[in-house]
Amino acid sequence: MSNGELPAALITAFAERPLQGNGAAVVALEQPASAPWMQAVAAQLRQSETAFLLPLSRLGSGDDAAGEWALRWFTPRCEVPLCGHATLASALALGHWGLLTSGASTRLHSRSGPLLVSLGQTGAGRAQLVLPSGGLEPSPLPTELAPSLGGTPLRSWRSALGYWVALLPQEFPLAGLDGDALAQDLRGELRQGLVLMQALAASDQTPTVQGLPADYQLRFLAPGLGISEDPVTGSAHALVAPWWCDQLGRERVVGWQPSPQGGGMVCDRLSSGMIRLSGSGQLLWDGRLSAGVDAGEAADWSCCRPVLG
């Protein structure tokens, strides 16, 4: 058990202004910590996700690992395999701590493989990350959800991430939806993640992200992960962005999330099939975490080791 204090920060990710976006706590570790310890910290910090960063060199990955990090994400209830907003927050936290310079890139090694992140050249608080998409498989939603959505969705899908996705007509009042109430009504597999999305018509009221008007908007509910509604969800946008690119006939789309906090991102489809998300973040607080790190036998970070060959 280590009694040292650890750098910690809270950053609101995918936020166009202060107190917008999705809060993520970021903790910089000096040695591998156990999953139960990280879960306990995440439960205390009570953000939708808490990110834990560990220098990759501490996993015995050699000199090639210099400047790269292992990354894990925990909701207040469980560990998750992928989280976009906490990855953006991690890049911004590294920049804030002087561990990643403006314009520089690094890889964060996770359960979902290596994730490339970079800080903006100009303009404080801007970063990019590259996420896998996962693909959508057409599938009808359970019929009991239809009344809450004003009828059967235009289209619906399932995904390898475990999320369900429903396309709603433009006239559906998605921004005014009571997300917490709907989350309480979700049953079965829908509780692991439900994306509700719709196209946005261009108007003076259309939200903008980094000066660009949003093409679509979505809400994300995941009570099974301990999150009634996630304010802004990078993994959900990375999942649906390719579909919107196909519909609009371009490789860049802008997504918005009209949750109570609100926020959005620019999504670029890369030739690799991965999705680059560009967004802004705001530092809310910066401090030290005083909690003895459990580095016992349960501190297994093999899930984040790079695959060689």
Is 230 within 8 Å of 246 (Cβ atoms)?
A: no
Whole-number Cα distances in Å, 59 to 27, 229, 300 = 17, 34, 10
Strands 6-13 and 275-289: antiparallel
Residue 166 in tokens = 């429903």
pLDDT score, position 229:
94
The domain spans of the chain are 6-131+283-297, 136-273
Is 90 within 8 Å of 26 (Cβ atoms)?
A: yes
Top CATH class, 136-273? alpha beta
| CATH label, 6-131+283-297, candidates 2.40.30.20, 3.40.50.300, 3.10.310.10, 1.10.600.10 | 3.10.310.10
The pTM score is: 0.92
DSSP codes joined into one string, 143-166: GGGGGGGTSS-SEEEEETTS-EEE
Is 42 within 8 Å of 74 (Cβ atoms)?
A: yes
Domains 6-131+283-297 and 136-273 share a fold: yes
> For residue range 215-273, what is the model confidence (pLDDT) as tens digits?
999 999 999 988 899 999 999 999 999 999 999 999 999 999 999 999 999 999 999 99
Is 214 within 8 Å of 206 (Cβ atoms)?
A: yes
Each residue's pLDDT expressed in tens, for the chain with a length of 309 residues: 455 799 999 999 999 888 899 999 999 999 999 999 999 999 999 999 999 999 999 987 665 567 899 999 999 999 999 999 999 999 999 999 999 999 999 999 999 999 999 999 865 699 999 999 888 999 999 888 989 898 999 999 999 888 999 999 999 999 999 999 999 999 999 999 999 999 999 888 899 999 999 999 999 999 998 889 999 999 999 999 999 999 999 999 999 999 999 999 999 999 999 999 999 999 999 999 998 887 666 789 999 988 654
Is 68 within 8 Å of 108 (Cβ atoms)?
A: yes
pLDDT score, position 283:
95
Is 250 within 8 Å of 10 (Cβ atoms)?
A: no
